[in-house]
Structure 1
Amino acid sequence: MTERAQAIGSKVEAFVRTIVAPYEKDPRCGSHGPSDDLVQELRARARQAGVLTPHILEDGDHLTQCETAHVLIRSGLSPLGPLACNTAAPDEGNMYLIGKVGSAAQKAHFLAPMVAGDTRSAFFMTEPAGEGGAGSDPSMMKTTARPEGDRWVINGRKAFITGAQGAGVGIVMARTDPGDGKMAATMFLVDLPDPAIRIERVLETIDSSMPGGHAIVAIDDLSVPADAILGAAHEGFRYAQVRLSPARLSHCMRWLGACIRANEIATDYACRRHAFGKPLVDHEGVGFMLAENLIDLKQAELMIDWCADVLDTGSLGTLESSMAKVAVSEALMRIADRCVQVMGGTGVSGDTIVEQIFREIRAFRIYDGPTEVHKWSIAKSIKRRQGAQP
């Protein structure tokens, strides 16, 4: 690991453990995530500590994916850590995408305030399942964008849009017609709020770490200029892959940090709590669970490092990120579940952060592609490779 990443990671870890963790009991943490005033308070403290948006350097350069892993794992030691340090989803992935394909004007208008931690963003891709819209299969997208003179008009409905409530920047993905009979999509950058983008309701979900929660959104005759197109028209599906592989790996990084913390809490509990004449850790059933946690934690770390190394070669890493998402999310679910089990009744209570981490990890197995979809994608890759054999 590079010296700069080690230095940044150490500062981030110290900040999250000492400054951020005490906020976990703050009443401004609600079922739809922390309030925006809490987020801004935390970011002010991160700015003061020199750990705001630590994965993007002062000259605008981005840490490598391997370096980013070292830093984001440490920001994830508290569910509030990524929000405080401005490394959270969906902002981290949106910043990455705008930085890769945005114009100079778009970077100045949209990216700069995001990097500064002054505004949040939302990524409008997923659509309501009951209407047959896009979910894990983006080719089912029903939201449309049609050109009208020198503008585009967008109509549709979106679902599970993280952080839409309170966001200042939106990336809207819609079907467009390139005129060649093929299906295409285009991404548009928009200022929020906009009266044409209406939040119908914020869903009640198992997780509660992301400000604004997850919303159902109606888009009615949203009119945007041509320069709102992010990158080039009709390239939305390709840009989605540019964003999604690093973004799903970043999820793995942050939630690995959370499970490291959960395991620390469960281990401390097992070493202090006595039952049947000895500490819980001395009972084989408990000690073995903690041993399995260490194994899964190390395997998850190595899987993340391997995939990050692939992405650092310039590869899209689609296959590798799917493999990492499956392996890490499933391993972290086992870890979080064991932590709850080791702690018994305390584990399912809000007395520690373990209960929330368990809920967040359960949602993570679905977000950014369910385990089963990634396995299906891996299987298709296996078939393609086998078909190429003589």
Structure 2
Amino acid sequence: MDYDDSATAQELRDRAREFMDEVVLPKERANAAGSVSQETIDELREQAREYDVYAPQISEEHGGMGIALRDVLPLFEEAGRSLLGAPAMRVDAPDEGNMHTLELVGTAAQKEEWLDPLVAGEIRSGFAMTEPAPGGGSDPKMLRTTAEKEDGEWVIDGHKWWTTQGSAADVLLVMARTDEEAHPYAGCSIILVPTDAEGVEIVRDIPHLGQDLMPESHAEIRFDGVCVPEENLLGEENEGFTVAQQRLGPARLTHCMRFSGMADRALDVAKAYMNEREAFGSSLADKQAQRFAIAEAETRLHAARTMVRDAATKLDAGDEARVEVSMSKVFAANVAQETIDLAIQCCGGAGISRDLPLADFYDAVRAFRIVDGADEVHKRTIARAVFEDTDSAEIEAVPRFDG
């Protein structure tokens, strides 16, 4: 398909595909029976630098390649073809989104202390926003964690969970109420909190549905009188939701492309299996029902890729593109899940084994319909925009029927 990608985007995609085929996929197959170590990820990152595909979304000043979001999308899709691809190319969540945020609104000192080592892969980070009930979940206005200024410091108290990579993180981007009198959207801030600060308690890693190949954790964390300097404020005071929106828009699109790549790889695996496997007198690839199902999946993946590119183009142009991002996120998440489910079904017993990557893909993709905004949240955003545009005069054209 021709997606009107620039020459830069196409060249980057080709290098990423070569890196995936020659380095990452063989490493994935060699580790199919178990988890991959951090040492292996570090080795892959060194090789990504050799292929010139390392941290393309970050400016050269901070250790990346300085490529615009729209041009880096095809690389994200290539990275998604294996669970090892994104961490190898340093386009992995949550660090990718946190690096973007630090680069966007961080001070020079914050970038030196946190961004540069994050890009280099020397430290890790977490984004601590979601809270257990009755705190903020899908409705962030319910946020209860607070941060108050005292003697040149922020004093933070609160309870978070589902902080991805939180137990392994060196620094957390913590969303907290900094003006109790204001509406939450106008009274919250993001504060950088080192995990070794006194009062930070990593309660546990939450047991969860997820893949086995790449170790992943989602932490429950308590903040009990945690003190950090005032200069750890990230962005403007009381503008935390504005900053979070700037983070989440691009992060949602990069998620979409990574999972599109995963779904595309799942189809490749399924098609290869179907060509080889015979049943009832012919190969599975000759069965019309499965051929039609594969055709439908290919069509929907094409639509997802197109939607994401449209949204990214608007973001690069300075548009908030909230509706386009929400449409992309909810559509791509469902298409990826359905496609990977289809691939497993096409492969039968082999599909649910760990001999193929499909079982790990299936475990990983289900969370995509919840992380970075559940389906329902994005549909609410889309519906609100649709109904705000409704012209009440149009109801005059609606026929009325009296029974």
Using structure 2 for the length normalisation, give the TM-score: 0.90
Q: Does 1:190 align with 2:193?
A: yes
Give the % identical residues. 37
**In the alignment, what sits opposite 1:66?**
70
Look up the equivalent residue of 2:109 and give its one-letter code.
A
Contact 1:348/1:355 (<8 A) preserved? yes
Deviation at 1:54, TM superposition (A): 2.2
Look up the equivalent residue of 1:299 and give its one-letter code.
A
Q: Does 1:202 align with 2:208?
A: no
**In the alignment, what sits opposite 1:133?**
135
Report the more deviating stretch, 289-298 or 251-260.
289-298
Distance 1:275 1:19 in 2: 34
Secondary structure at 1:171 match in 2: strand
RMSD (CA atoms): 2.1
- C-alpha distance 180-372 of structure 1, shift in aligned 2 (>3 A): closer
Secondary structure at 2:27 match in 1: helix
Report the more deviating stretch, 207-216 or 77-86.
207-216
Matches within 5 A, 1:284-323: 284-323=288-327
**In the alignment, what sits opposite 1:88?**
92
**In the alignment, what sits opposite 1:145?**
147
Alignment match of 2:363 (pick from 346, 359, 377): 359
Q: Which digits, 9 at most, give the CA deviation of each residue in 1:85-129, with x for residues without a partner?
A: 10011111111111111111111111111122222211010111x
Q: Which digits, 9 at most, give the CA deviation of each residue in 1:1-44, with x for residues without a partner?
A: 222222222111211222112333537954xxx54333323223
Contact 2:205/2:217 (<8 A) preserved? yes
Deviation at 1:343, TM superposition (A): 0.6
- C-alpha distance 181-266 of structure 1, shift in aligned 2 (>3 A): closer
Q: Does 1:345 align with 2:342?
A: no
Look up the equivalent residue of 1:204 and give its one-letter code.
P
Q: Which digits, 9 at most, give the CA deviation of each residue in 1:127-156, with x for residues without a partner?
A: 11xx31111111111111011111110011
Deviation at 1:211, TM superposition (A): 4.2
Look up the equivalent residue of 1:232 and give its one-letter code.
E
Report the more deviating stretch, 339-348 or 196-205.
196-205
Contact 2:172/2:194 (<8 A) preserved? yes
Report the more deviating stretch, 265-274 or 173-182.
173-182
**In the alignment, what sits opposite 2:397?**
none
**In the alignment, what sits opposite 2:157?**
155
Deviation at 1:210, TM superposition (A): 5.8
Secondary structure at 1:386 match in 2: coil
Distance 1:175 1:217 in 2: 17
Distance 1:157 1:210 in 2: 27
Give unmatched runs, 5+ long, in structure 2: 395-403
Look up the equivalent residue of 2:326 and give its one-letter code.
S
Deviation at 1:196, TM superposition (A): 2.2
Using structure 1 for the length normalisation, give the TM-score: 0.93
Look up the equivalent residue of 1:282 and give its one-letter code.
D
Contact 1:64/1:312 (<8 A) preserved? yes
Q: Which digits, 9 at most, give the CA deviation of each residue in 1:228-268, with x for residues without a partner?
A: 00011111011111111111111001111111111100000
Distance 1:171 1:211 in 2: 21
Q: Does 1:26 align with 2:31?
A: yes
Distance 1:210 1:294 in 2: 27
Secondary structure at 2:247 match in 1: helix
**In the alignment, what sits opposite 1:108?**
112
Give unmatched runs, 5+ long, in structure 1: none
Q: Which digits, 9 at most, give the CA deviation of each residue in 1:28-73, with x for residues without a partner?
A: 954xxx5433332322332343322122242457422211211111
**In the alignment, what sits opposite 2:128?**
124
Look up the equivalent residue of 1:135 and give its one-letter code.
G
Distance 1:100 1:364 in 2: 25
- C-alpha distance 334-381 of structure 1, shift in aligned 2 (>3 A): same
Count of residue correspondences: 385
Q: Which digits, 9 at most, give the CA deviation of each residue in 1:203-235, with x for residues without a partner?
A: 122123664411111111110111000011111
Look up the equivalent residue of 2:334 and give its one-letter code.
E
Q: Which digits, 9 at most, give the CA deviation of each residue in 1:262-292, with x for residues without a partner?
A: 1100000011110011110101122112111
Distance 1:272 1:232 in 2: 58
Deviation at 1:311, TM superposition (A): 0.9
Contact 1:13/1:77 (<8 A) preserved? no
Distance 1:176 1:210 in 2: 36
**In the alignment, what sits opposite 2:45?**
43
- C-alpha distance 181-12 of structure 1, shift in aligned 2 (>3 A): closer
- C-alpha distance 379-6 of structure 1, shift in aligned 2 (>3 A): same
Alignment match of 1:229 (pick from 227, 233, 251): 233
Alignment match of 2:382 (pick from 373, 378, 384): 378
Contact 1:270/1:279 (<8 A) preserved? yes
Report the more deviating stretch, 275-284 or 51-60.
51-60
- C-alpha distance 216-387 of structure 1, shift in aligned 2 (>3 A): farther
Which structure is larger by alpha-carbon Rg, 1 or 2? 2
Contact 2:198/2:227 (<8 A) preserved? no
Contact 2:33/2:355 (<8 A) preserved? no
